[in-house]
Chain A
Amino acid sequence: MIGIFRAELLKLRRSLVVLVLAVPPVMIFLLSVLTRLTGNGPDLWLVQSMATSAVWAYFLLPMTATGMTALLAQLEHSTGMWSHILALPPAKWTIFAAKCVLALLLMAVASGLAWASIFAAGHTANLLAPDHALQGPVPYWDAAKLLAKMFAASILLIAVQLAIALRYASFALPISIGVGGTFVAVAATSSQYGAYFPWLLPVNMLASEPERAQFALTYGVAGGFIVLAVLTIWFARRDWK
């Protein structure tokens, strides 16, 4: 299994993975710094970090998941490598399990970078505009916990996007669904069914009702691992023509 995972990592060399990982934190950084410099942002570190986390959860996290899973699937789809990889002796499920682990790992890294960019932006803005400097304790730990929960709640959406990206050779469908899901999530926020909508689960970590946040976390994690297990088994059993 380690060899299979090393092979997965090797495939990412000179791919767009670095760009997909780098764009969201850069966007967070620019958005936050520009907001601070125009004097439109909140005055407290805690509020600033929550507001930026919301942008991450609503838009950047689902879009990064969409791009990342499409990229991972396209490594084989675009090159026709499935026939080679799946004709090798290792059990097919291990190949797909490695893809699932890699997708989660990369999204965890993306979440970490998002966390770092929130504070990098805050400190940079404080240096550039000390008159509007953010006040109060710097909530490194609180933000880390929040982003970790957002990542955990997003496992279902990552799993769904990965399943679609692996199933369809064209990247158009997973990208369309990812973009559509992200924007529908905004409209679904106030809906009672929004609690079940995978693209909204990370946002629900910010819900004022603790039950809604807890449900999103449990549903996102459990549902995510169920979908990952099902996709691993299903893709290992299906024909590769």
Chain B
Amino acid sequence: MIAAMSQTAIRTENLSRRFGRVTAVSDLGLEVPAGRVCGFLGPNGAGKTTTIRILLGLIRPDRGNSAIFGHDVRKARRAALTGVGSLVETPAHYLNLTGRENLEITRHLLGLPKTATDRALEQVGLTEAANRKVKGYSLGMRQRLGLARALIDTPKLLILDEPTNGLDPAGIHEMRNLIREAPDRFGATVLVSSHLLGEVEQTADHVALMDRGRLLFQDTLDNLHAAHPGGLEIRTDRAAEAAERLKTRHADARAEEGRVILPGAHDATEIAALNRELVEAEFDISGLRTLKPSLEDLFMKLTRRLGDQS
């Protein structure tokens, strides 16, 4: 039983779903804190879209529960989905209708006042193109219209599935800003799924990493980096010699283009000791830099670990 907790926007327990012999989601225990931008990451086929579809009540799990702001999605679907704006995969619209008419359909379905349509159009900068048929919209405009539809009910939770798909660089930049600003601007929690890890790294402060239906990690980006330090880079005149010398302390030490790389070295005392040793051995040290692994690097590392376990 999932207890009502207002500070948790999304919570799933043991969520599992198979399609035939393929396990799409396996025992997923996802927790997204309210008021944050959570990057829901993983390669294609990781189970992100299946999870999102379960959260939106579009498909049923074989096992487990999911709740939005404490409301069970299956038992209290209406309460759970009220105030949830979503953009699932490609931006779908009625092409024979105008942008405004498309939003009017959602407005009627949600029983909202007429002002909601104009406000949503304004929020995504589509007011001028509102009376044009969607058939003539660019992909970026269609994506923005999809976002307007997600924003029409002033959502407390935005679920965006691959929102930058098909967008040009300017569109990606715009979408990124909108996602980043959503908690302050609309007071919304955002769950944004993507297979582009670097992309989400720029917008999310919380991440959930998935692969092959399983959750690899979920926490803040800072804690992810703290748990998986990148290492230390030392710039020196005799990099190969220095790397050889440091191998007594760090077996992984290696020389690379005038620098020594020490994977995993992050402790301040340890860094000071390494520096002292090289200085005393009369190496010229021109720079020390801690390395922050990219989300992609961390994802690969966590994926390998999952592979080793299975």
Residues of A within 8 A of B (CB): 3-4, 6-7, 10-11, 13-15, 75, 79-81, 83-92, 239-241
Contact = CB atoms under 8 A, between A and B. Distances in A.
Contacts of B109: 3-4, 7, 85, 88, 90
B105 A7 contact: yes
Contact of A88 (B53, B60, B81, B94): B81
B149 A91 contact: no
A6 B108 contact: yes
B96 A15 contact: yes
Q: Which 3 A-B pairs have the closest CB atoms?
A: A80-B92, A87-B56, A7-B108
A81 B59 contact: no
B94 A87 contact: no
21 contacts: A7-B109, A11-B105, A13-B101, A14-B97, A79-B92, A79-B93, A79-B94, A79-B95, A81-B93, A81-B94, A83-B56, A83-B89, A84-B86, A84-B92, A87-B58, A87-B81, A88-B109, A89-B77, A89-B84, A92-B57, A241-B19
A3 B86 CA distance: 20
Interface residues of B, number: 32
B223 interface: no
Nearest to A79: B92
A80 B90 CA distance: 8
A92 B149 CA distance: 18
Contacts of A85: 109
A13 B102 CA distance: 11
B106 A10 contact: no
Nearest to B17: A239
Contacts of A14: 96-97, 133
Interface string B73-115: 0000110011010101110111111000100111011110000
Given A4-B108, A7-B109, A90-B109, A13 B82 contact: no
B76 to A, nearest CB: 10
Interface in B162-177: none
A87 B86 contact: yes
B97 A3 contact: no
A55 B134 CA distance: 40
A11 B105 CA distance: 7
B88 A83 contact: yes
Given A87-B88, A241-B53, A10 B101 contact: yes
Nearest to B135: A14
Most central of A15, A83, A85, A92 by chain B CB within 10 Å: A83
B57 A87 contact: yes
Contact of A90 (B59, B78, B101): B78
A85 B97 CA distance: 16
A84 B78 CA distance: 15
B104 A10 contact: yes
Contacts of B82: 89
Contacts of B93: 79, 81
Given A89-B77, A89-B82, A3 B59 contact: no
Most central of A13, A75, A79 by chain B CB within 10 Å: A79
Contacts of A79: 92-95
A240 B19 CA distance: 13
Most central of A13, A14, A88 by chain B CB within 10 Å: A88
A3 B77 contact: no
Contact of A239 (B58, B78, B92, B149): B58
A241 B88 contact: no
A26 B49 CA distance: 48
Contacts of A13: 96-97, 101
A17 B21 CA distance: 42
Contacts of A80: 89-90, 92
Contact of A83 (B58, B84, B104): B58
A238 B306 CA distance: 33
